[in-house]
A and B are shown apart, each in its own frame.
Chain A
Amino acid sequence: MPNEAWGIGASLLRREDERHLHGRGEFVPDIKLPGTREVAFVRSPHAHARIRGINVPSDAARRVFTAADLPRIKPIRVETQAPGTKAPLWPPLATDKVRYVGDAIAACLAPTRAEAEDLAALVSVDYEVLDAVVAAPRDMRGSRHPVHDGWGDNLFSERVFESGDIDAAAGAADITIQREYRMNRQSGAPLEGRAVLAYRDWRLDEIVVYASTQTPHTLRVALGEFLGLDLRRLRVVAPDVGGGFGPKARLYPEEIVLAALALELDHPIRWVEDRTEHLLTAAHTRDHHYKITAYADREGRILGLDAEIIVDAGAYGLWPQGPYQEAAMAARNLPGPYAITNYRCRASTVATNKAPLGPYRGVGRPGACFAIERTIDEVARALGRDPVDVRELNMVRPEQMPFTTVGGMRFDNGDYPQSVRLCAQLLDLPELRTRQRQGESDGRLIGTGFASFAEQTAHGAAEFVARGAAIVPGFESCTARILPDGSLVLMVGIQSHGQGLETALAQIAHHELGIDPVRIAVRHGDTESTAFGFGTFASRSMVMSGGAVARASRLLRDKLCQIGAHLLQCEVTAVRCADGVVQGPQGSVTIAEIAKIAHLRMDGLPPGVDPLLDATATYEPGIGTGVFSYATHGAVVAVDAETGSVELLDYAVAEDCGTMVNPMIVEGQIRGGVVQGIGTALYEEIPYDDHGQPLAGTLADYLLPGAAELPAIKIGHLHTPAIATEYGMKGMGEGGAVAPPAAIANAVRDALAAIGAEVNETPITPRRVVAAIKKARERSPQVRP
């Protein structure tokens, strides 16, 4: 039997902690190579301009590189099989035009970053400034200077999703609710920005690229493609990565440029992004506009949903999936965890002169959740019903599972309404309602809001093929290798950057082989030592990589049993592998003894059995459309109606992610996600002015949530193991960030119910709250709280 303190379900303390607690983590900027030159980029100060010329100081040859100096680089090309989409080419260093503030134009090299920036300041660019496209809804059908020449409009893609009969739903409805919602543009803002270090290894005839990335293997594929290099000549290493959250799961121009420079130069080069570069040029996220019409009967049952979604995707699509998935994901998730039967949604992805949009924890879901969950609350309010009851009334019930929504999501299992009830319990809803009626002594207004969602996780090939993706991240891989002393190395294609996979994957191997986790090493993030894998994103690594570890471990277990039975002189059917030994009817032999024979004493092997204990396996879950975690979040806020400030008094999550391999890590992921969602709800925004200038370039204007303004986050679990995955695991990395904007907006709405004000735009800043209150009071001047 696996040891209960170490195996599946144990909150085993993390293997990765020790190095970080002593400041011995190794992030890209920590890696020193002799002779390294630092890189600073010349970047466009304009949102949209033609480049008439670039003037490089005459003595700066081989220290300043423009596109013309690096002809090997091909423009980034995103392929997609999705119909009706446009895919512009993206030169990693701008050639004829710049399309957003921060677009890279030249790379400048010097011994220190400060000197590289001095050099960059000497490069001058002659621009012909063009009108910037900044208002996606206004400019999507055309503008004076479209973002991409030759397009008649500014549309990357437009799709209509339709299911059932929306007109019939409209005809049958007792009430109609119409709202517009906006989730503004923000940054993923991992605490460590991006970073790349590249050099040429002459002995191995390869380019080595260290990058702060979530996806080393696919980054290698991209570098091969856009530099025209055999992959055997490229090695990508992601060492410690200081947070990713999605933005680091994409290819960036800087990575291509650094690798290209490594081919040109006889010294290493390094680029370490500063925070301003990050806020201007690393993938932005969200930026959704919604127009929703909901039709409901007098009970609050939603009969139909008619929606328009516009996603402001910025100037280019990031490789590999392009700009399209955000709007499509929002459209497919908009019906939420509800059994809605009639649906129509037009989803448009618009090119603007802003930084490219990429994935960030939850991707299209937080916006969709915001729109549907706010709407559910408005339906309830219009009917004078409790939003909790209306949620439950509309939710897919356990006995309806598996259930395919009008958005095309196939829910596998779970008790969704129970998550609403559990969350209400965690917050002690009746007590809150009493407190609300009594009023606060400081005059602030208390409100409670809920939001529910089901989250597609660990989706395999079926899902990505349906999206028209050019790259189908449907599997993960593991090479499990027992060394001659019986210790085990798991080499996996994912990349762990905070998720604790060095610990949790070892727990799975322990479950299968009984080897003490301290004798198990997990190697990840290096294309040299691991079989191909896609990396860590989309709440997939535990299910996918964990499944691959399970399968590879079982292959080893079979071989251990075969050799063990031979040594114990019994039938292989009579032995079992547990607690680090192969146990037979009459005795046992340790894995270490078997490992020695498999490597150093092959004369002890049974006839026909090859030496080595080395197995590579891949894994794709039994269902390619994903397994669904689900949760209800609840927020309690106090709103100051004079200043508009919103204080979060309490926050609870009731969730179900199937079998938890390491509950401590699961809860850590939930809490981290929730706080990122709170950032979206209350603080984080990158506004652009009418000229396409971004207005948040430092952490002083881009506010990240801090410890002082947050409550402790409560968590309650439900347990419905998945049927289609190993051990019943479901993915859960992103869910925490999905519901907070909706739950908090509903809580603010609840607090301001007597005034009749609602805030339907994130972040819910004091200014927006005050504006909403003012608007409501102007509408009905007689109402005073």
Chain B
Amino acid sequence: MTAIRLTINGTQIADDVPARLSLADYLREPRNLTGTHLGCEHGVCGACTILVDGEPVRSCLTLAVACDGCQVRTIEGFGSDPVMTALREAFHRRHGLQCGFCTPAMLITAHDLIRRGRAASETEIRLGLAGNICRCTGYTNIVAAIAEAAVAAAKGPPDAE
């Protein structure tokens, strides 16, 4: 067991974890944050994407012990974040999800694309999603939803207009 301290969705946590425990398993099992999903556990499908120190990472390939001192943010940790709110709204309106298994990680990746200003065109969004597999939707509606949320986010919240 190794002692770690980290911040998860704004809460400071001190814990002991086995050295081989992945961050995904740590979040899902002892921390019960089950919105982070596992589709392959070898870094390809992107279903486990979360933010560590603000950057998207594959939590299946990240060891929990390596996150000592890190800020971790999962789908449960976005509160009323305006970009995430716009994304959720757009995914709903554009039918950007079917089974919902890829959805939390899609949202986190999309959030990152918009934050970095990488959601300006369909091509850019599609390239940005290259690391997130969705087996259900065929992507068309996910891409449309992200484009729509990017526009909404650029405008700012509706009450600012």
Residues of A within 8 A of B (CB): 13-14, 16-27, 29-30, 32, 112, 114, 189-193, 240-243, 245, 274-275, 497-500, 664-665, 667-668, 671-676, 698-700, 704, 706-708, 710, 712-713, 736
Contacts and interface: CB of A to CB of B under 8 A. Distances in A.
Contacts of A23: 33-36, 74-76, 103-104
12 contacts: A17-B97, A24-B35, A27-B101, A114-B21, A191-B45, A192-B39, A672-B137, A673-B138, A675-B138, A675-B139, A708-B126, A708-B127
Interface string B72-102: 0011100000000000100111010111111
Interface residues of B, number: 56
A494 to B, nearest CB: 15
A668 B102 contact: no
B100 A20 contact: yes
Contacts of A275: 39-42, 45
Given A275-B42, A704-B133, 7 more contacts: A29-B38, A190-B101, A242-B39, A275-B40, A667-B95, A676-B135, A708-B126
Interface of B: 18, 20-21, 25, 28-29, 32-42, 44-45, 47, 74-76, 88, 91-93, 95, 97-104, 107, 122, 125-127, 129-143
B133 A242 contact: no
Given A668-B95, A707-B126, A242 B37 contact: yes
Given A29-B38, A191-B99, A671-B137, A13 B93 contact: yes
A44 to B, nearest CB: 22
B19 to A, nearest CB: 11
Q: B18, B25, B47, B126 — which one has the most chain A CB atoms within 10 A of its CB?
A: B126
A672 B34 contact: no
B42 A700 contact: yes
The A contact surface, by secondary structure, is loop
B126 A20 contact: no
Nearest to A736: B138
A540 B111 CA distance: 37
Given A275-B40, A699-B44, A240 B100 contact: yes
A191 B37 CA distance: 9
A24 B41 CA distance: 20
Nearest 7 CB-CB pairings of A with B: A23-B35, A20-B100, A242-B101, A498-B98, A23-B75, A498-B99, A671-B138
Contacts of A664: 95
A21 B99 contact: no
Contacts of A17: 91-92, 97, 100
B73 to A, nearest CB: 12
Contacts of B135: 189-191, 243, 245, 672, 676, 704
A20 B103 contact: yes
B95 A698 contact: no
Contacts of B139: 671, 675, 706-707, 710
A191 B133 contact: yes
Q: B41, B127, B135 — which one has the most chain A CB atoms within 10 A of its CB?
A: B135
B87 to A, nearest CB: 8
Contact of B44 (A30, A672, A700, A736): A700
B44 A14 contact: no
Contacts of A700: 42, 44
